[in-house]
A and B are shown apart, each in its own frame.
Chain A
Amino acid sequence: MTTFDPYAPSRDTTEGKVFSVTGGDWDSLVQEIGATKEERVVVNMGPQHPSTHGVLRLVLELEGETITEVRCGIGYLHTGIEKNIEFRNWTQGTTFVTRMDYLSPLHNETAYCLAVEKLLGITNDVPERASVIRVMMMELNRISSHMVALGTGALELGAMGPMFFAFRDRETVLEIFEMITGLRMNMAYVRPGGVQQDLPEGAYTKIREGVKLMRKNFKDNATLLIGNSIWMKRTQGIGYLDLAGCTTLGITGPVLRSTGMPWDLRKVQPYCGYENYNFDVVTADTCDVYGRFLIRMNELEQSLRIIEQCVDKLEKLHGAPVMVADKKIAWPAQLALGGDGLGNSLDHIREIMGTSMESLIHHFKLVTEGFRVPAGQAYAAIESPRGELGASIVSDGGTRPYRVHFREPSFNNLQATPAMSEGGMVADIVAAVASIDPVMGGVDR
């Protein structure tokens, strides 16, 4: 027996001997496990483990280094967002859904707003400029999300350089977000009926410069990883999932496209006017981690193309409204930058406080009580960076959602972990999970 380790004791249970691992005790652990006769070892990976992509817990049954069974434990980040929304008005709902999948907040908001607009019957009344801004913001968000997927994915496989480049480029996007919405994440920028405010002065220039910079910078990661023999050995043929596996498991997004299926909701079921943009659906036919990696790399360029087209359109639409004309739905105040930071525009304050009693009542009713949404249910699906993000919303005709459910691609796609990793090596499950790119905020909601 080895010396007693007070921080990593072992104890006998009915299921067998249980070892606690705290780090730095590898030698003593190996000795102790070697002393047992058991061939089969159950390893608990996570929920606090650097390579499980957030608070994901994986229970692995191992024989040697081969995984015989995987189970995922989730729920560690469950915050009851769907329940909470039922107690707020429809506009406040955006501030909740934006916090679900925290790497793609604008996709969550847009899916939610598209479903609410469907219930309100105003889908065609949303101004064109608002739709173009939504598309542009979503594509910027796709870049920032893919950057985390690529950077952390590479980091988890031991490549540190790509993460630095990825987070440098992500910063470019986040600065644009900060300029337009005031926030780097959880913006609540997309609102039922349009967007919260118009682009600030200088936004076109900043976005154009950002696109130019990113197009140049993306080459760094491409040269580091594409064709890199270590990277290819870690990713090629790993995490295999074919088309039949994807359809039965309901997998969408880059994982589905890595089977050669050109399924992208932006093309096949366009929303927000995606049919008016030129871009390609990126696919691969390898069904493995490398294919998904290549898809994400190439989707970056497609997103840049869409963003450039958006800026062109926005310049032509300069000054057009960004919110529906219906005053019973549109937020009454326009925000303006005052001396003390963001606030209501002084013109609006002057109107409601000084000149029009009716405006004051209208403002008060809409802000405190909110608008009513006709009863019924709607499902709106968009292509988030991880796959089909669907918002199922039920209204009872009141000022608050009756039920909001998000069909989260992370939640669904994480089910593919056993199919991708059982029979493989322990080290490969890290690559497989990274290629699914689950965001635990979205999984647990």
Chain B
Amino acid sequence: MFGPKGTGDTSGYGGLVSKVITPGSSERPYGGYFDEVADNLERAYPEFSDAIERVFIDRGELTLHIKPEKLVEVAFILRDSLKFEMCMGVNGVHYPEQTGRELHAVYPLLSLTKNQRIRLEVSVPDSHPHIPSLVEVWAGNNWHERETFDMFGIIFDGHPGLTRILMPDDWKGHPQRKDYALGGIPVEYKGATTPPPSDRRSYK
């Protein structure tokens, strides 16, 4: 409706395009219990260096970037040997500018025994959005994976019933992806029409 188009800056004021910069691998020592977790995982899982692409510490949180095909193996070891009994679900993030790894799935893990938290991250290309399901490892991931499928279109292979969960069954598209517009409907009040949110300057 107003203003410039296509800068990617949704604030409408800065005119700046901000890029998501993911931090590179962290160097040892990681600090806190993160070294212990990494050591234990390396000991329990000989293919550590092959399966885990990156380990990084940011804002006091440990993230392990795992190759999608190795995810289930690593998850079983984390659950059984490293005592991460709980997975707090999965959430997707869509980074359209990261060609070849546009869709990320993030799994926060929790250990009740050791009172520790780590995060697993998996990235897959938009053209082949397949990640093995972790429902057989943590049954509670069932609905979380369905939600991530619903919102991002990531297909979790081996999921017992991967259907939409929040959107209607016949919905087209995956709403949380960045290429999915906010949408909305125009609102008419006292003869004047307010355009749908997608067409308003401040939401572009």
Contacts and interface: CB of A to CB of B under 8 A. Distances in A.
22 contacts: A75-B165, A82-B176, A83-B176, A87-B197, A87-B203, A119-B59, A247-B112, A248-B139, A250-B86, A263-B112, A269-B117, A369-B11, A390-B88, A392-B91, A397-B21, A398-B14, A399-B14, A402-B20, A403-B94, A407-B88, A415-B143, A445-B166
Given A400-B11, A402-B93, 10 more contacts: A82-B151, A87-B197, A247-B85, A247-B86, A248-B139, A263-B112, A375-B18, A375-B22, A377-B58, A407-B89
Contacts of A80: 175
A80 B151 CA distance: 10
A403 B93 contact: yes
A412 B143 contact: yes
A369 B13 contact: yes
Contacts of A8: none
B166 A444 contact: yes
B14 A369 contact: yes
B89 A394 contact: no
B144 interface: yes
A342 interface: no
B108 interface: yes
A1 interface: no
Contacts of A405: 91-92
Chain A binding surface, main DSSP class? mixed
Contacts of A402: 20, 93
Contacts of A261: 112
B16 to A, nearest CB: 8
A394 B144 contact: no
Interface residues of B, number: 52
A396 interface: yes
Given A250-B88, A392-B108, A403-B93, A83 B58 contact: no
A118 B117 CA distance: 15
Contacts of B143: 411-412, 414-415
A248 B136 CA distance: 9
Contact of B61 (A375, A379, A398): A379
Contact of A390 (B11, B92, B108): B108
A158 interface: no
A378 B13 CA distance: 26
Interface string A238-260: 00000000011111100000000
A89 interface: yes
Given A250-B140, A412-B144, A78 B167 contact: yes
A396 B14 contact: no
A398 B88 contact: no
A84 B202 CA distance: 12
A82 B165 CA distance: 15
A419 to B, nearest CB: 9
Interface in A55-105: 74-75, 78, 80, 82-84, 86-87, 89
A377 B14 contact: no
B122 interface: no
A392 B90 CA distance: 10
